Structure 1
């Protein structure tokens, strides 16, 4: 069981909830602060004090006072009017993480929401009820308003969900679960949608996939080094300690350990004096990506445990303060940074693929073809890798450098962080396909050199991947091989 405190959620907790079906509950230590902030909201409504988000309109309508008898209607109007996202739906892992993170923000006790509303979010997490949330439509400030509105609608019996593998109306799913729709009270609609959980959830999934892929990239690059009879001296510890980046040094150490008993790698001067940069500089390039991932993880963990709505109820309900914690700039910049770093991991892989297939750059069969000329072999796989890394260069254009004013210029600077997070996740998927192609080519090269000469570690991975992709004995539809290996690389059990 993972207990939410609003302060202690870690990446490992998210992995357990997503991939090990760990259940989630509210930590009992949070209950008092949740009740206190709720009581503060109820007092404001009862005393008819004018406070933004409780008895006013929203955005440019913040100066419009809402009468006491209309406060509940305001909550439904807020959700349905803001639920106008478009495009494909977020993947279920992203949606589940979105619900988890929103609940974790709400248990902090700054939002004035009833505990039963938070519990309903966690019921959906625990029972694998996935609201249908379109990916496009958030500016990444004022919170992820459109996606979080779609996320919240099923709580009140509106919108659609995926449940038991079928897309259903939320009302039908609630009836199947024996639950009644919740009638939201003052501020609760705003508390559900004013936050950064769409961009943060997408960023968390992108990070988890990127972290695993970065480790897999080192393993695949090690097999490539064997296939190209790469020079192991470039990975000597003294070189990397001389520069001083811990991530670079650690990457070189892992590759040395993977190749420690290989009879395929060479020493400087044995076959050539130096390798090309895509081989020689693996620790420097991959290590820089690891530096970026460390930065991104730090920002995501802070945001996973942040109060990001507005207004915030503080000092046990004594103050209700409007601010801007919903602004997604910290995550927007982190997502753009991760997209760039992962795109570079793809770029260097594509250059290694070229060295594996180009007969002018190696002593292997041209394009790793079993019958050069009659059969094309891996020729067009390199084309695909080149197309993917080129696409990544456009996806890696920073979303955070753009801002378009909204709400009649009341909200005049926004982060576009959700766009950045979506692009980062797409970049990671593209890079995973590039590494699947490198792995296929590297396996062919090492098979040609003799797998009996491979290092123990790389030979073990070679055997595992050969269960997914067989040796190229004749031309075939390689798209199936690429997709199968990319799917295998994505699976958590291969971490």
Structure 2
């Protein structure tokens, strides 16, 4: 209990930038979350709502307040119906389909929406922000179907489930179960909101679903880049590879900084010169020799991916934008998720290439034609038991299947823009689909990575037996990982079911269990 308390992080929504790391902390349920009550912040938030109230009551024309939505913007809303309009917006968008987002993903989506609304440019009341923050504080999280958004006008259908929950409708995650929010609100004595004009649009007409997912995807990919470098070092040891492929002088002549960082990680892991090499092959195959070039594409992409995601997260991304300070209503298209779409389409490509790289390394290591003297399929069986044991044969097939599916998912979603909503939304981002694709590619790649960890570890154990490899001569980092794997997995001597081991290692990867390189 004490360690859990120590791990919690204070996060205050106050209109300043929220980081990708903070979204991940909130998503994991490790944030102590609050809303600023500074007088200046409260006043800035309320100023926009007060300006809107005065404007529409004076019969000012405001999109989505005194007009219908989308192509229906030419439809004038009678003054006596204006306050009913937000309820209709989240009601008719209640048509999501498919699997629902996980609890972690839904927390991230709520956090992303609060970050945007807290900028003070959306015309919502401070009271609405309080209700959103209360959802995170009490861990009463909307159940949100994954399918139904084209990424402009923002994530309308997914975010309608957030708006509805604020008002006491639909379902929530609470204490591990899906329950009717009305029951949970009654149990916790939470008063449902009645949305003010523009507040439904402010919640729904934005990029929070795709951006929340992007924050989660970024951290998973960032970790996989490091883990792929560590696994490559392990594979090189198991295959008796050429450590000089990662020499700093070699990489100095091709100065991509991320690529060179990956090469240095692998070079340092291999503790070059400490272990004698018996393999006579001058150049290792590409999946070893070119690993820094493959992983380096992702590593070099992380800075701009972070910038794209961070900027979207900390933007007012609904429509219209409300300038309460200068009393202006600015109609535009900030709900368009093009930056997140491009980031997620790019990220899933780079991540799938990691799966492809590790799959090729696995294929080398299990094959007696390429593994420099190790047993077929890395079976630990000996003597009369050898013929009936097949080691990692099926795991290699599985890794190939997961990789193929990951690669299949890399078609950019953003190029499949559709004209929707009576051709009002005639160019859309597909950002949410791109983000969902990226999450799927990450899952598949983590499965391949789990297989690669087990295969590389088994290969090193066999190299000790075959070539008298001295593990003490390996680097501290490499030895630490080898020891940590041994704590969770035992040497595969006789065939056994490996599904649960693979699932455990996928979970450990997603928890970022192994402490890797400091940057």
Question: Do these two structures clear the TM 0.5 threshold for a shared fold by scoring above it?
Answer: yes
User: Could you tell me which residue of structure 1 aligns to residue 135 of structure 2?
Assistant: 124
SS of match in other structure, 1:143: coil
CA separation of 1:127 and 1:488: change in aligned 2, threshold 3 A: same
Q: Does 1:484 align with 2:498?
A: no
Q: Find the partner of 1:335 among 328, 344, 347.
A: 344
Alignment of 1:22-421 (within 5 A): 22-27=31-36, 28=38, 29-260=40-271, 263-264=274-275, 266=277, 271-314=280-323, 316-362=325-371, 363-371=373-381, 372-421=386-435
Give 1:23 deviation, angstroms.
2.0
Aligned partners of 1:261, 1:397: CA distance in 2, in Å? 39
Aligned partners of 1:85, 1:142: CA distance in 2, in Å? 15
Aligned partners of 1:262, 1:448: CA distance in 2, in Å? 21
Aligned partners of 2:513, 2:187: CA distance in 1, in Å? 32
Aligned partners of 2:229, 2:470: CA distance in 1, in Å? 21
Give 1:32 deviation, angstroms.
2.2
Aligned partners of 2:277, 2:324: CA distance in 1, in Å? 66
Write out per-residue CA displacement over residues 419-474 of structure 1, whole angstroms, 9 at most, x where no aligned residue: 00001011011111111111111111100122642433222211111222211011
CA separation of 1:439 and 1:40: change in aligned 2, threshold 3 A: same
CA separation of 1:20 and 1:133: change in aligned 2, threshold 3 A: closer
Aligned partners of 1:16, 1:82: CA distance in 2, in Å? 29
Write out per-residue CA displacement over residues 380-414 of structure 1, whole angstroms, 9 at most, x where no aligned residue: 11111111111112211100001111111111011
**Which sections of structure 1, spanning at least 5 residues, go unmatched?**
none
Moved more, 217-226 or 23-32: 23-32
Moved more, 74-83 or 27-36: 27-36
User: Could you tell me which residue of structure 1 aligns to residue 6 of structure 2?
Assistant: none
CA separation of 1:292 and 1:473: change in aligned 2, threshold 3 A: same
Aligned partners of 1:175, 1:494: CA distance in 2, in Å? 43
User: Could you tell me which residue of structure 2 aligns to residue 463 of structure 1?
Assistant: 483
Aligned partners of 2:25, 2:436: CA distance in 1, in Å? 23
SS of match in other structure, 1:87: strand
Give 1:20 deviation, angstroms.
6.2
Write out per-residue CA displacement over residues 102-157 of structure 1, whole angstroms, 9 at most, x where no aligned residue: 11111111111111111111111122111100001000010100000012211000
SS of match in other structure, 2:446: helix
CA contact (8 A) 1:9 1:305 kept: yes
Give 1:493 deviation, angstroms.
4.6
TM-score, scaled to structure 1? 0.96
CA contact (8 A) 1:30 1:108 kept: no
TM-score, scaled to structure 2? 0.92
CA contact (8 A) 2:337 2:431 kept: yes
CA contact (8 A) 1:465 1:485 kept: no
Alignment root-mean-square deviation, CA: 1.6
CA contact (8 A) 2:66 2:79 kept: yes
Aligned partners of 1:132, 1:262: CA distance in 2, in Å? 55
User: Could you tell me which residue of structure 2 aligns to residue 434 of structure 1?
Assistant: 448
Give 1:302 deviation, angstroms.
0.4
Moved more, 14-23 or 74-83: 14-23
Aligned partners of 1:425, 1:25: CA distance in 2, in Å? 28
Give 1:7 deviation, angstroms.
3.8
Give 1:263 deviation, angstroms.
4.6
User: Could you tell me which residue of structure 1 aligns to residue 5 of structure 2?
Assistant: none
CA contact (8 A) 1:138 1:146 kept: yes
Aligned partners of 2:245, 2:15: CA distance in 1, in Å? 46
Aligned partners of 1:344, 1:124: CA distance in 2, in Å? 38
CA separation of 1:262 and 1:183: change in aligned 2, threshold 3 A: farther
Give 1:3 deviation, angstroms.
2.1
Give 1:16 deviation, angstroms.
3.2
Give 1:264 deviation, angstroms.
4.6
Give 1:17 deviation, angstroms.
2.6
Aligned partners of 2:514, 2:191: CA distance in 1, in Å? 41
